[in-house]
C-alpha cells in the first residue's frame, strides 16, 4: 500500500497536480484538485498563495473564483458596494464573523495587467473585497472541485 501511495504522489508531482482542502464555508466544495501552472479564465476557481493578513498567514493556500481580470473596470466604493464593468457585484460587510470591524479594499479604476479580483459569493467569504487585487505570480493553478 505504501508503494502505491508513493507512486501516486510521484505521478502527481510529475504532472503538476496537487490536492487542496478548504476547511471553511467560503466555497461549496471542500476538496480540490489543483492543476499547477494551467491556463484559467474568468469564472474559474484558482488556488493562490495568500499575501498575508490578520486572518491568514502569508503563503496560505486559498481557493477563489476569478471574477475580475486585467483591463476590467472595478469600483469598490465607500458605500461598501462592489461594481465590476458597470454591473453591481456585491456588498462589503462591516464586520467579520467575530464581530470585528473590517474595512473594504477601496478601488476605482482599471485592474492592471497581471492582477486579478478573486471572489466567492458565500456570505462570509474573505476575498478581494477585503485584501485587494492578487498578483498573478501568486496563483498556483486552476482548482477543480472534487466534493
Domains and CATH numbers, the chain: 2-145 (2.10.109.10)
Return the residue matching grid coordinates 474568468. 42
This prediction has a pTM of 0.84
Predicted confidence at residue 133, as pLDDT, reads: 98
C-alpha cell recorded at residue 146: 472534487
Give the mean pLDDT of 45-73: 94
pLDDT digits (tens, 9 = 90+) for 94-103: 999 899 999 9
Read off the pLDDT band of 19 (50, 70, 90).
low
Predicted confidence at residue 97, as pLDDT, reads: 87
**What's the rounded Cα separation, in Å, for the pair 28 and 60?**
19
Amino acid at each position: 500500500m505504501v508503494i502505491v501511495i508513493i507512486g501516486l504522489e510521484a505521478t502527481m508531482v510529475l504532472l503538476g497536480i496537487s490536492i487542496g482542502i478548504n476547511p471553511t464555508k467560503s466555497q461549496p466544495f471542500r476538496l480540490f484538485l489543483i492543476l499547477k501552472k494551467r491556463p484559467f479564465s474568468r469564472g474559474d476557481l484558482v488556488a493562490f498563495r495568500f499575501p498575508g493578513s490578520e486572518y491568514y498567514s502569508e503563503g496560505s493556500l486559498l481557493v477563489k473564483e476569478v471574477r475580475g481580470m486585467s483591463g476590467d473596470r472595478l469600483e469598490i466604493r465607500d458605500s461598501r458596494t462592489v461594481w465590476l464593468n458597470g454591473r453591481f457585484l456585491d456588498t462589503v460587510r462591516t464586520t467579520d464573523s467575530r464581530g470585528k470591524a473590517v474595512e473594504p479594499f477601496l478601488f476605482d479604476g482599471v485592474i492592471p495587467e497581471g492582477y486579478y479580483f478573486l471572489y466567492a459569493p458565500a456570505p462570509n467569504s474573505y476575498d478581494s473585497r477585503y485584501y485587494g487585487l492578487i498578483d498573478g505570480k501568486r496563483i498556483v493553478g486552476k482548482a477543480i472541485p472534487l466534493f
